[in-house]
Amino acid sequence: MKSDIEIAQEIELREITSVASDMGIENENLIPYGKHMAKVMTSPEKQKDSEKSKLILVTAITPTKAGIGKTTVSIGLAQGLNHIGKKATVALREPSLGPCFGMKGGAAGGGYAQVLPMEKINLHFTGDFHAITTANNMIAAL
């Protein structure tokens, strides 16, 4: 069985503009952070077909011993919905500092239900300053 990192390294990431286009989000509503990440500047109500949209919240779950928790369930649910022809997008919150200190899971899912690139997710997506603060705090805690 392949490890999470082996699976992640085999994947060729799509550009965020392509992913956003598939979801009906126009480029002018994106603030890109490189090729693979962006902030979305619009509210869901402004998106076309919003009256047909549904919202599923995964708010609390006790993770399994294998580490399957909210993130993995949310990603797997979206993958399953997309697989049966439904348009599904996952909005995940930024992870806590637990993964940086090795105290909990990576907050990026696992196996074939991962959010990539996980190293950027665990260093707070688009902000270098927060990553520097996190690294400083981790060194100070040693």
Asked whether 37 and 44 are in contact (CB, 8 A), the reply is no
Query: So what's the pLDDT on residue 72?
Result: 80
Domain that holds residue 92: 4-141
What are the tokens at 34?
A: 């490189």
Angstrom distance (rounded) from CA 125 to CA 10: 21
* CATH number assigned to the domain comprising residue 95: 3.40.50.300
Structurally, how many domains does the chain consist of? 1
Radius of gyration over alpha carbons of the chain, in Å?
A: 16
Query: So what's the pLDDT on residue 133?
Result: 76
Could you say which residues of the chain have pLDDT below 50?
A: none
Query: So what's the pLDDT on residue 56?
Result: 83
